[in-house]
Structure formats: structure tokens, C-alpha cells
Amino acid sequence: MKLFLTWALLAFTNLLFGQAVFPDFLQGTWKMENNEGYEHWDKLDDHVLKGVAYKTTGGQLTVTEYLDIAKKGDEIIYTAIVTNQNQKQVVAFKMTRSDSLFVFENETHDFPKKIVYQKLADTALLVQVLDEKQAGYRYRMTKQTPEKTEADTSVLNPDYDKALAERLGGDDYGMKKYFLVILKTGSNSTADKQAISESFRGHLDNINKLVKEGKLVVAGPLGKNENNYRGIFILQHIQSIEEAQALLQSDPAIKNSLLDYEIYNWYGSAALPEYLPASDKIWKKNP
């Protein structure tokens, strides 16, 4: 009986940690209690939260940390880049608990070794930044209302154009989610020149089609390299990697395996597509 209970406890523990909860509740802007420190988090998709920590002084915003929480296989990893520490190197913390507390640990880091987010209520957090002896510092954070966040933003950037930001789909930092596609040599090694020519003619035609549909923002070849990378695409208005994969199958060179690809989430300026109208006025020869 004792052996059975031990096995059951282990099975329950594995189940608990195998189904780690993603801390979606962090989305939004949070303000430190009695302090002008903030954290803002955006959910890029079901696997990625992007955050930034900043302070405001006299209406000026100073970024102190760039933050990221992402699912990587069976793990959830919290990464931080502190702007004035560690030569701006990325420090990673692995989630070790995700129930009433969201605990991220890195035993090899000097300080902190543990970062804890505890949801006290829908609009209240307790954050703990600790060493190996559970010493460190703790502070409460309160979620800001959209009205207050908008007011703060308008003060921090006197040139803020709300209508433009909304049209481009930018978040509070003028950024949005894209997908970066790296094109590489495919598995099809045919020597049929006509088939190759037709596929790559279709490749170029498909690029123009996707640009007109507003799905493709950047496309261009890469120089010769040892990785056999051939070019890049940056896609927008795509909700998932699966949707991006389906879209790429409209490219004859990819469909015929003359090109293959890798896809990555990319977070960049929402203003990036604004170069496209100018790009149509500066070419002399159509490729």
C-alpha cells in the first residue's frame, strides 16, 4: 500500500509539472506600489509573452529590463536583459512551479537566483526577487486601467499618433508580432532547367501577390553562406506558425521542394510596412 501511494504521488507530481500553466494573467501594464516603476507585458501567441520594465521620471521613460516568457519544448523559460548589468547579456530562469506561485529559478546566477510572481487578485501581484537563502526584496504591483495607461503614454511621447498606431496594429511600444522566415536550399536536386525556371518565376509572382494581400512585408535574397540560406521573408497579419506554413505552400519553389524554410516569431516595429509605398517608386527594372 505504501509503495502504491508513493507511485501515485510521483505520478501526480509529474502530471502537475507536465502541464505547467502559462502566466497569461501578466498581460497589461503593472505599476509598483509607492514607486514609479512599471512592467508591461504583451502576449504574442500561446507560447510567448514579451515584457519590458521601465521607470518614469519627470515625464521621461527609461527602460531598465527587457523581459520574455516563452514555452520551449516542455519547459517555460523566463529571460531578462538588464540594461545596466551583465553587459546586457540574456539571463534565463526556468519555471519550477506554476500553481498559486509562478517560480523561475537559475541556481548558477549570482543574484537573483529566483524570481516569483504571485497573483493576489486580477489587478494585484506580489513579486519576489530572491537569493539562495530566500533573502532579497519584494514588492506589490497594481494593474493599470487602459485609460490610465493611455494617458501615461501620451505624456511620455508628445509625438504619439494614436490613429496611426491603431492603423498599423502597434502596441504601447509601437511594436507588433511578425513571423521571420529564413529560406534555404530544398531537398529537390533536379537538373530540369525548365522546371526550376518556372518554379522560381512563380516564386517571384507569389511574392508580389502576398505583398498586395498585405501578408508579406519584407523579401530579399541572402549572400552566399555556409548554411545554404537563400533569403528571408517577414510576414504579418498571421496568427500562428501553422497559418504561416500553409501560406508558404502557395510558393511554387517551396511546394516543389526547391526551397525549404525555417520560421521564427519576430517582434518588431509596427511601422515597418510603411516603407512599401516608397519601394514601388524606386525600382527601374522589374526582376
One domain, residues 145 and 180: no
Q: Do 257 and 193 lie in a common domain?
A: yes
At 123-139, the pLDDT tens digits run 999 999 999 999 999 99
According to the model, what pLDDT value does residue 19 have?
A: 59
What pLDDT shows up at residue 148?
52
Per the prediction, the chain carries an average pLDDT of 87
Tell whether the model's pLDDT for residue 281 goes beyond 90: no
16 belongs to a structural domain? no
pLDDT-above-70 percentage for the chain: 89
Instruction: Give the CATH number for residue 260.
Output: 3.30.70.1060
Residue 2, pLDDT > 70, answer: no
Torsion of CA 100, 106, 107, 108, to 10 degrees: -170
SS3 content of the chain, % helix, strand, coil (to 5): 30, 40, 30
CATH code at position 66 = 2.40.128
Mean pLDDT of 197-225: 95
Q: Is 14 within the bounds of a domain?
A: no
% residues pLDDT > 90 (the chain) = 67
Range(s) of the domain holding residue 89: 26-160
The residues pairing with 101 across neighbouring beta strands, listed in sequence order, are 118
Cell triple for 256: 516543389
Provide the pLDDT for residue 147: 55
Residue pair 104/114 in contact (Cβ under 8 Å)? The answer is yes
Q: Who contacts 67 (Cβ-Cβ below 8 Å, separation ≥6)?
A: 39, 41, 50, 51, 52, 53, 78, 79, 80, 81
* Residues 43 and 153 grouped into a single domain: yes
Average pLDDT over residues 97-104: 91
pLDDT of residue 131: 95
Q: What are phi and psi of 38, to 5 degrees?
A: -135, 155
User: What is the rounded average pLDDT of the residues 197-224?
Assistant: 95
Would you say residue 17 lies in a domain?
no
Q: Which element (helix H / strand E) includes 154?
A: helix 146-156
| pLDDT > 50? residue 155 | no
- pTM, two decimal places: 0.58
pLDDT, tens digit, for every residue of 163-178? 898 899 988 888 899 9
Of 152, 136, 134, the C-alpha closest to 144 is: 152
Residue-level pLDDT at 214: 94
Instruction: Give pLDDT tens digits for 231-272.
Output: 999 999 998 999 999 999 999 999 999 999 999 999 999 999
User: Which of the four pLDDT bands, split at 50, 70 and 90, describes residue 162?
Assistant: confident
